[in-house]
Amino acid sequence: MGFSIDTNVIIGVVNNKDRLHDISLNLMRDKQNEKLIICKTALKEAQTVFKHKINEIMVEIIQFLPKFFQNKKMNLLESQIYLIEVFKALRDQKPGLTNFLNLVYHDVSTFLQEGHGIEEIPLFLSQLALQYSNLAIPKLESAHPIEASISLNLKTLSGVKSSTKDIYFKDTYDERIFQELMTNLAEIMPIEFFSDDMEFKEKSEIGYAKITNDLGFDKQAFSFNSLERYNTKP
């Protein structure tokens, strides 16, 4: 059997500060003897999220930098104390960025400890955004070999679209990931798909029920699974 993963699991593997990091790695270990099929859209979305989130953090941090420049006598310890205050303020203001703020804080702290100056932080963060985007595939491969990556199969797309025309996914990424799985299902089944996105799960299960009726796939050919059983924390 094969398995595939949503964007949030890819991010969980790459970002060791992510709330899904341990859960994602538990999943990868559990599936070591199964084939990992990656949807190209899920990978692209994960890479885009890293770039956008870290660049967003960079924009937020820049507004706090003048205090550093105003006090050039600030030593490393004082700089790090101020940095902690900055990141705490950002976590309070933007809780949706917490996983990425924790990641960036660790890397920026290490950067300063290596002797780099405060004025270098913006350039460092722009490079960091690209670095984590490029790390997605190597990090995935280190956790579990990628058997294949799939994109839309245009030969079967019209049938999938016809069956799911009344289903509206919350964004184009979810819709495209589902379509990539469904248009390639004949070649990759049976396959399990893992995500913690319950809205995506609901829409996908409704969509697959329609596809089994219209296109004749067995109900066991595809399943959308939550990550709950891989959460080992009490």
**What confidence score (pLDDT) does residue 84 get?**
86
HSE-CB at 106 with a 13 A cutoff on CA atoms is 9
Helix (H) or strand (E) holding 66: helix 65-70
pLDDT in tens, 52-103: 999 999 998 888 777 666 665 667 777 778 888 889 999 999 999 999 999 9
Q: Which residues of the chain have pLDDT under 70?
A: 67-74, 234
Q: Model-level pTM?
A: 0.92
**What confidence score (pLDDT) does residue 68 get?**
64
Q: Count Cβ neighbours within 10 Å for each residue of 141-173 and write b for 16 or more, e otherwise.
A: eebbeeeeebebbeebeeebeebbeeeebeeeb
Helix (H) or strand (E) holding 147: strand 146-150
Helix (H) or strand (E) holding 135: helix 121-143
**What confidence score (pLDDT) does residue 71 get?**
60
